[in-house]
Structure 1
Amino acid sequence: MDSPHGAAVTAGNFGLKGPRGWVFRGVSLDAPAGSLIAVEGPSGSGRTCLLLALTGRMKPTEGTAEVARHQLPKKMAAVRRITALGPVPGVTDLDPALTVAEQLREGALLQRRYDGPVRALLRPRAQRTSGTEARIEAALAAVGLRLDTLPKGPRTSVRDLERLEALRLSVAIALLGGPRLLAVDDTDLKLSAAERAEAWTLLRHIADSGTTVLAVCSEAPADAVVLRTGPAARTQAPGAEAEPAPVAEPEPEPEARNTEAKNTEAEADTDTDSGTEAEDGTDTKGAADALAEARRA
């Protein structure tokens, strides 16, 4: 049974097909609430699409998944309500023109306006303000971001943050709504080995506190439930021996199908190479095309 905060995540034969072929397919997962789930794979292998599909923001083509017993794709809106996106390029980018304090206040305001209960909008201004400040302080404490250590304190510009500081800020904003599942893209991008260790310590702490964490990365930590995308795609529990996945049979090229997506803006991968079909039947260009279709939707 789920904990009060975390969300159990399961999937069976989960797949998404874009205009040029399979973005990912055959994904299987069984992770209890409070798990640290790592989506590992090279850039362009469908990692971000899988993250968006498991959080109800991109509609899968085959198979099913459940997040806190909300079945995908039938209950995408319900899944969106209990999940939150941390840093996802093109979707939840921080605004470089804002200060850290302004970014936090904007995140709290948007969460209260669109995700919070309607009755919260009817509370007296002083009560709303104190409640917002308390939630911001709790979120900053959860991610280990101390504003007084920044160059200009809370008035530090977002554009002046180091990569790890920006990651902490994005995660803090995502936690303002108390999600049962937190999704983070490009977790280890542009981080040194020491910074990667800090990032995983942060996400592991959040998972240990009860919130399920789904994180995209190029190299997963040993204690995570691992979902691999690309030619060697498979699921591996923490500490388990890796086993080769069965190779999917390529299918005849069907008529191109638009990939539906709701309440998200996703950008195409920067890889502009022509698409080639991987050993598991996925198309290396398919992920970028699916993200581009999602942005236009």
Structure 2
Amino acid sequence: MSARAQTTSQKVSGSPSTGNEAIVVENFKKRYGSNEVIKDLSFSVRQGEVFALLGPNGAGKTTTVETLEGYRKADAGTIRVLGLDPIHEAQVLKPRLGVMLQQDGLYPALTAREVLELFAGYFAQPRNVTDLLELVGLANAQKTRCRRLSGGQKRRLALALALVGNPELIFMDEPTAGMDPQARLATWGIIRDLKASGVTILLTTHYMDEAERLADRIAIIDHGELIKLDTPANITGVQNANVVRFVAPAGLDCARLASLPSASKAQEIRPGSYLLETKEGQEVPQLIVELTTWLRDQHITLSELRTGHGSLEDLFLRLTGSEVRD
């Protein structure tokens, strides 16, 4: 049985209601024609936390987030955002939300400042536009028309637009995609500051290190189902066994690797990247000796070797598979 099948053979449920949730999703279902995109999804997001919703392409993330934002209607189940129905109470809810879309949809002929001023006019108590431009690092580009902004600058402007209304809850879809390393770190700092001020953030990202560093809790969904929900520390420690990760030529015989005396399991989690788990009671150093000896005897070059518990990316690939999806 595959890792994903083993995981989903038992129902994974979201956290029980405690009365301080910013988002509550219960038994959510959504279908497009004969395609059941969301099967029976339940989870909650606590007020003031950073919550990462992860999954491969086609897992149902976008449908879930768009339903929470009020752009799609659930076929079944209960959806509550800040205690309100996103469809029927949208007029009250939307001023309290910030949305950072993956597709920016900015006005190409307007400058960065003009776009921010336009959106600021929609809110009763917006943030200062000059301060926002400085915060996201666009002060020097404020007079640049949106069509001439770089991809990273457009993402930073999208972040400023999500913040302009002083939201209580922010949805961030791939917040640092296309950003350079400096802008990415600055955005992480902004997210941490927002959390410290009590703002709730739900983010989707394909950067596993981003989710691991920023999120208080992580939910992984696939094929419209919740397959894992926990803190980053707990979610990466579910394997319990110590692991050895190494990089070598693709296509090694994992059955032979798993037959090493100290190994319990071997997997090529992506081409050329392997993960070995120790047997219970066995030590990692002994497994390393066995592995390197076997590689030497097979005349196989080892280019990278790491030890410790598996990473979030390792776990994500094991749960959802390594095949590329559209």
TM-score by length of 2: 0.57
Residue of structure 1 equivalent to 2:69: 55
Q: Helix, strand or coil for the counterpart of 2:74? A: coil
State the distance in 2 between where 1:22 and 1:192 align.
Answer: 37
Match of 1:100, as an amino acid?
A
Q: Does the 8 A contact of 1:12 with 1:65 survive in 2?
A: yes
Alignment of 1:264-279 (within 5 A): none
Q: Structure 1 residues 193 and 176 mapped into 2: Cα distance closer, same or farther (>3 Å)?
A: closer
Structure 2 matches for 1:105-120, cutoff 5 A? 105-109=117-121, 111-112=122-123, 116=124
Q: Which position in structure 2 is the counterpart of 1:162?
A: 150
Structure showing the higher strand proportion among its residues: 2
Structure 2 residue 174 is matched with structure 1 residue 186:
yes
Tell whether 2:42 aligns with 1:28. yes
Partner of 1:145: helix, strand, or coil? Answer: coil
Q: Distance in 2 between matches of 1:188 and 1:138?
A: 20
Identity percentage over the alignment?
21
- Structure 2: which amino acid aligns with 1:61? D
Unpaired runs of at least 5, structure 2: 1-17, 240-318
Q: 1:1-297 to 2 correspondence within 5 Å?
A: 8-71=22-85, 75-89=89-103, 93-109=105-121, 111-112=122-123, 116=124, 135-141=128-134, 143-148=135-140, 150=141, 154-191=142-179, 196-220=184-208, 221-222=211-212, 223-224=214-215, 225-231=217-223, 233-238=226-231, 239-241=233-235
Query: What is the RMSD of the two structures over their aligned residues, measured on CA atoms?
Result: 3.4
Question: Following the alignment from structure 1 to structure 2, what is the Cα–Cα distance between the partners of residues 188 and 101?
Answer: 21
Letter in 1 for 2:235: E
Q: Which has the higher contact order (CA 8 A, sep 6+)?
A: 1
Q: Would the aligned equivalents of 2:116 and 2:164 in 1 still touch at CA under 8 Å?
A: no
TM-score with structure 1 setting the length: 0.62
Shift of 1:40: 1.4
Residue aligned with 2:234, SS? coil
Amino acid at match of 2:105: D
Which letter maps to 2:65?
L
Q: How many angstroms apart in 2 are the aligned matches of 1:196 and 1:206?
A: 15
Q: After TM superposition, give the deviation of residue 137 of structure 1 in Å.
A: 3.1
State the secondary structure of the residue aligned to 1:30.
strand
- Letter of the 1:102 partner, please give it: E
CA displacement at 1:78 relative to structure 2: 3.6
Report the structure number with the largest CA radius of gyration. 2
Q: Which runs of 5+ in 1 are unaligned?
A: 117-130, 245-278, 289-297
